[in-house]
Structures are given as C-alpha cells and as structure tokens.
Structure 1
C-alpha cells in the first residue's frame, strides 16, 4: 500500500515552497481522520508523519462504537471490518475469581455494538489508504516538523524536513495532531494545565495459548492493576505501577517483577517466564493535561496534542476521532472558501472542551482510590471501587458501556459535506 505522497512546489534556494489549504502535523487517528474528512469535503490537505511507517506497538488499539459509526456513515465500514480485529461486545474484570461484566455495549443506538480491538497501525493504514484515493489528499511519511511560519501574530504554515528536502508549507490552517509531546503546541507557545496521574503502565507481551481464560471476544478488563488485550497470537498486557516507580521496580530485579505479574495475571504462572529481559518491558508514562486554549490565529490542536489522556477506559483514540469530526464539520466550508477566521477555531474548542473535561474528570475520579491506597498505611488489595460498584449493580455496566462506547458528546457527520467528490 502506498502511503507517501509526493510534495511538489516551487524552489527558493534550497527550500521547497508549497501552498495548500490545510496542513496537519501528525498522522494518528485524529490527524488522519481530519485529513480524510477535509479532503472528502473538497479541501486540499497535506498530512505529515515524522516516522517512515505506523508500526509502533503499545498504542491505543480500541476502535469504539462511536468511531465505527463514523466509518459507517462514510460508507467504509465493510472494508474496515475486513481488517483483522477482535470484537468485544462487553468488557470484563475478574473479581474474587469471577468474571464480571463492567461495560456492556448491547444497548447502544448504533450499528456496531462492540469495541473493535485492532492494532493501531492497521487502523491507520486503512485510513491512509482510503484518504490516498482522493486527489486533494497527500500523506508524507518521514516528514519532521521543525518550526512554524508566523506573520504579524498569525500562523501561516510550517517548516519540515521531508524526503524532498527542507520544505516550507504555507496554509490557511496548521493543525497540531502530533500527540501528547506535540512539537506544534510547543512551538506555538500554547500553555497547558496538568492534572497529574498517580500511575504508569508497564507493557509486556505474553503468548496466547489455547488454555487461556475465555474472556468474551478475547478481552480481559482491569484485574487488580493488570489489563489484557487479545492481539491474536499474543496478549498485550499492562501492569500498573505507582507513578515514577519503574526504576525501583527494576532495582528489585526481573524475577521479582515476573512474580508480581504472575500474582495478578489470570494466565498460568509459568507464562511470565517469557519475560526474559527489561528490553521487553515498555514504560507508558501516564499524563493528564489540557491546553488552556487550543488555538491561535491560523493554528488548532486536537487529540492528545490538545488534551493528554490516561489510558483508563481507552478514551484517547475515540476523543481524537470526535475532535476531528467536530473540526471537519466546522472548518471544512470556511477552509474551502478561504474565509477561515479565529471564530471558527474558537467554535471547535468550545464544542470539544466540555466532553474532554468530563472524561478527564472521570479518569481522575477513577484513579483517586489508587492514590488513597498509596498514601494509606494499610495495604489493600482487590479491584478499584468503581469496578466493585458495577459488579454490585449490573445495570451500571450498560451505563459504563454508553460512556466508554459513545463518549460524553457524540459528534455526528454532516453527511452531505463529506461525500466522495
């Protein structure tokens, strides 16, 4: 599959100069979805990705019902579901040796009442393939953003190192969709507020064996600080640790770490022997923050670049997609007509800031019990309080399914705007 577009423009010395209507830094779920939608609405779009491919492990791989609904409205659902994936109509946790449903998607008002567990690189390759069919869309891999172009306080484009050389891309709008360590938001001087996070996650791979627990559609939910995602041939497992404690975990030695994992994993104890070195343990530093303002004149941030999320609930990918849909709904026409102004960017933030605040608040509440445990002299065990509550009142599993599957504010496509042109 071809995922790299060619940048062509006029030369000014050793710098290539290109003009487009919108340039997006970052080809994660939010960036690619926004690029696809704008291109289908007739906007000229360039998406830049600093890596040569999408093959990076331990990234969010949950495609939520709300996102599947967007794909369906675009007429692409049948093709997406041909991509290898696992469907989870429910999410589970193990409490006292019993498998308990903590999120049930069966009553959602959408066609796909399940989460699709799909490696993110496959999902991104799918979006890129569909977008590349459009003549006004270009995805450029190995393109590293180095700075912004500013004129009288307005952002008018960006500079990048691309396979074609140093490139200046002028555009009505620059979108930062380049993740929680966004260079775009840093270069734009946008300030954020951090809300902290009491935990980190250590990601590992363990083999998938026939005798493994038969979780619904192969997914095991949180079990005393341990999460499992079925990747077919292996389990992607996350072991939750206290914030900043990875060095201490390593000091205790690999055998102690294997034993700790075995104590909370539902897999057979000998499975942890597959962890043979610390090179196989990957740290995800959890951070929750949000930009105080998501935009400047000529620039907008979405997804993790605007609001870093905890992996709890898998909300990050869905929020980024919803940001992209809201941005496309509001910005497509003014971009196409050349009438984009600050009011449009303000509307995007206003539309998306409430659901972002709500989800982050929920994540912080879900993590508060873990913080209390750390500060307590009494060592407690067992699942978080919210999981116990859902186990006690099963109807809450449907409410949790609604929250996880659809989010706080579901964005709907203006379908007439995004028909293939």
Structure 2
C-alpha cells in the first residue's frame, strides 16, 4: 500500500531501512502516531548491509523480539579473522557481556520484515510502501510535513507532522530538499557484490581477506556466498570488462576453493556499490532531523553501518519522546540528538578512514600479480600479541563507542 489514510500524525519517518523501522517501532510502542514512508514496494534489495552486532541483538531482546530474530536464517560468528599476507588479526566475541557472544549476518530484508510485522501490531504505527517523498511542507519557516507520491495509484498526498525524521539513506531526498550538503571524506575504493554458489567442502564461516592483489569478504548465505570484492574508486566498469575476467581471477586467487565455479559467474549478476564516507555539519533543520546514512554515510568496514544507524534511532526516540508527546519539538531538542550521537560517529569514521589508508587502499590492485605482500598494519601488528586484544577489539566492534539502550520513558516497551 502506497498511502496512509491519515493526513496528520505526530511524526513522519522517511525511509524504511533499519533506522527508520526501529524508530517507527519505538515511537509507536510509546503511543506516538508515526508513519514510515518507504519508496520501494518491498524490502528486497540484494546487497544491503546485514551485519547485526551485539548492541542491536540486545535491543531486540529488550523489545521482546530476540527469539523471533533468532529464528531468521543467519550466520553467527563468534570470531572473525582478518587475514593478511603475513598473518591474521582476530576479533573475538566470546567474552562479550550480556546474552550474545556473537554477531549475526542476516539478510536485511528478513530483518526489516520482522521489524515491520512487530510495529504493525501497534495501532499507532503506519507503514506506506511504494510511497516516495517529493517535497516538504513548511509553516512559518519550519518543516511541518511532507508531500509524497503513492506510486501504486500515481496520486500525491500531504502528511502533516510536527517532526519529520529523514532515515532515507546516503542519497536522502529530505536532505536534498533541505539544501544540506554533507562533508565528504576520500574513499579510495568501491565494491562489487557477486553471488558465488557454495559447494560441499567450502568453509562455513565469514572470510575477510586483504592481500596485495585485492580485498575480499565472503558471507555464507547457505546455498551461495555473497562475495564483496574491493576495487579501486570508479573502476567498476573496467573490472567487469572482458566478461568480468579480472573479477573471476581475483576471487579465485583470494578464495581458491571457489575456482571451479568462476566459469559459471554471470557478469550481469555483479552489482557495484559506490563507497563513501560523509557527514553533515548539522543534522537538523527546524522541524526535521536526519539520522543514519542520511546524516553520516559509513564505509562497510567492520559492518558498523546498520548498528550505528539503529543507535541513532534509539537515541532519537528516547530524547524526543517527551517533546513529541507535548506536540512540539524545538530546535534545542533536535540539537540534543546530534550532540549525543555526533562524537561516536566522528570517531568511528576516523577509524574507518585509517583502515582504508593502512590496508584497504594498499590492497586494491587491478593487476594479476599484485605488489609486495600486504602486511598486517601497525598498530594491529603489535597489539595482536597482547592476549586481551582480540576480546577488546571484538567488544569495540560489537557494541560501538556509545551503545544506546532503552531507558527512561521507553523502558516499559520491552513487551512482545
């Protein structure tokens, strides 16, 4: 359904990704009338991020959704090895506090469907799919709602609300309509996503391989591997040229167990993703707030994107709920959300940029022989010999720098 019967609510969320769906669920369970507008008819986009960390798993437990999430098809990892040409660095999750000593790799469409089903059980939640925001409504200089197109019927609708939250990703329509421009950092690489059939005898776990001849991440999807091959910035067309010969050779070199399946690889099934890291100086305008990738696009490094966006959503719900119940959200309220979430975002992006510079960029080479062996970068080369480092490294990845929990007015919402 691409439209909502109501013409006014307390909050409109644009974008039905993890941040938008979690925020909609939290607000609806708090009694706030909220609508989520998703411009696609479903959640079935292949190659979306799917790494769900312990911070998010704990949140699902608080919401009474932990058992339902556990039944989704997923790959659980208690340890991850980042393999270089001269050795490996371990992320160890086996000593994490709480119930979850692992991270989960789950198709994002399954995760979003779970959130949508849970939220739809609450009368104050409204979801419109195939509903594309086309303009903002303003009143006395403040955003006071949106205009959106119901792509099922071709009709345009108006939806009024004292708060519009943009969770519509790195190509945010709301951000563009507000005239906000993010500050971009250099990203030396893009990514090709390739489906590779799994075969008997293949390893079970996720593989992270960084080499002088390229970088490759292999995620076990049951009957196939979702392979993410790192390539030089803007080189996707060149990498796919000549019937994707370079792609075939590079994947076979970095994951030798796949060599016998490379001949069957269909170049039409190779999807390209442009990697970017950027951040808005200001995440809000009067009546509007931007969270997740709309406010700060993250690199796929360490799979933190989903979890950081969800933490934004939790902080947004907790901080803004009193104002939403009053029916008026001030600029000061919106600024509080940014102050809460800005520094973990800045530091996480800084760490991602350092990783890019130290081993991702060095591992991208479109030739067949590569350069000198890619060694484990400092300071990881030294720290990995400290016995507690794998657990500390795992904890930083699994929880982030500032994990958010349901506290204060949201605490009663942990029912199923």
After TM superposition, the score normalised by the length of structure 2 is: 0.92
Query: Contact (CA 8 Å) 1:223, 1:383: kept in 2 or not?
Result: no
Trace 1:319-338 onto structure 2 (pairs within 5 A). 319-338=308-327
Number of the residue aligned with 1:402: 395
Residue 222 of structure 1: SS of its match in structure 2? Answer: strand
Q: Structure 2: how far apart are the matches of 1:168 and 1:340?
A: 20
Match of 1:123 among 98, 111, 115: 111
TM-superposed deviation, 1:420: 5.2
TM-superposed deviation, 1:282: 0.9
- Cα deviation, 1:73-110, whole Å, max 9, x if unaligned, reads 11211111111212111112334597x45211112222
Q: Structure 2: how far apart are the matches of 1:283 and 1:130?
A: 32
Query: Contact (CA 8 Å) 2:64, 2:414: kept in 1 or not?
Result: no
Match of 2:372 among 342, 363, 380: 380
Match of 2:42 among 53, 56, 62: 53
Q: Structure 1: how far apart are the matches of 2:2 and 2:29?
A: 17
Trace 1:288-367 onto structure 2 (pairs within 5 A). 288-367=277-356
TM-superposed deviation, 1:394: 5.1
1:7 and 2:18 are equivalent in the alignment: no
Q: 5+ residue gaps in structure 1?
A: 10-17
Match of 1:261 among 205, 229, 251: 251
Match of 1:234 among 224, 228, 235: 224
Match of 1:220 among 207, 215, 223: 207
Q: Structure 2: how far apart are the matches of 1:373 and 1:274?
A: 26
Given the superposition, is the C-alpha separation of residues 105 and 374 from structure 1 closer, same or farther in structure 2, using an over 3 Å criterion? closer
Q: Cα RMSD between the aligned structures?
A: 2.1
Query: Contact (CA 8 Å) 2:2, 2:131: kept in 1 or not?
Result: no
Given the superposition, is the C-alpha separation of residues 283 and 390 from structure 1 closer, same or farther in structure 2, using an over 3 Å criterion? farther
Number of the residue aligned with 2:193: 203
Larger mean Cα displacement after TM superposition, 307-316 or 107-116: 107-116
After TM superposition, the score normalised by the length of structure 1 is: 0.91
Number of the residue aligned with 1:67: 56
Number of the residue aligned with 1:14: none
Residue 313 of structure 2: SS of its match in structure 1? Answer: helix
Query: Contact (CA 8 Å) 2:75, 2:105: kept in 1 or not?
Result: yes
1:160 and 2:139 are equivalent in the alignment: no
Q: Structure 2: how far apart are the matches of 1:5 and 1:143?
A: 5
TM-superposed deviation, 1:388: 4.5
Residue 362 of structure 1: SS of its match in structure 2? Answer: helix
Larger mean Cα displacement after TM superposition, 143-152 or 353-362: 143-152
Larger mean Cα displacement after TM superposition, 154-163 or 129-138: 154-163
Query: Contact (CA 8 Å) 2:62, 2:414: kept in 1 or not?
Result: no
Trace 1:131-210 onto structure 2 (pairs within 5 A). 131-162=119-150, 163=152, 165-210=155-200
Given the superposition, is the C-alpha separation of residues 272 and 166 from structure 1 closer, same or farther in structure 2, using an over 3 Å criterion? same
TM-superposed deviation, 1:263: 1.2
- Cα deviation, 1:214-245, whole Å, max 9, x if unaligned, reads 4xxx2212343110111111110011111111
TM-superposed deviation, 1:379: 2.6
Q: 5+ residue gaps in structure 2?
A: none
Q: Structure 2: how far apart are the matches of 1:272 and 1:94?
A: 22
TM-superposed deviation, 1:340: 1.6
Q: Structure 2: how far apart are the matches of 1:384 and 1:21?
A: 51
Larger mean Cα displacement after TM superposition, 411-420 or 346-355: 411-420
Q: Structure 2: how far apart are the matches of 1:64 and 1:419?
A: 19
TM-superposed deviation, 1:247: 2.5
Q: Structure 1: how far apart are the matches of 2:180 and 2:412?
A: 31
- Cα deviation, 1:364-391, whole Å, max 9, x if unaligned, reads 000112446779xx93333551664565
- Cα deviation, 1:143-186, whole Å, max 9, x if unaligned, reads 01101111222100000002462110000100100000001111
Given the superposition, is the C-alpha separation of residues 189 and 384 from structure 1 closer, same or farther in structure 2, using an over 3 Å criterion? farther
Given the superposition, is the C-alpha separation of residues 236 and 390 from structure 1 closer, same or farther in structure 2, using an over 3 Å criterion? farther
Q: Structure 1: how far apart are the matches of 2:195 and 2:383?
A: 29
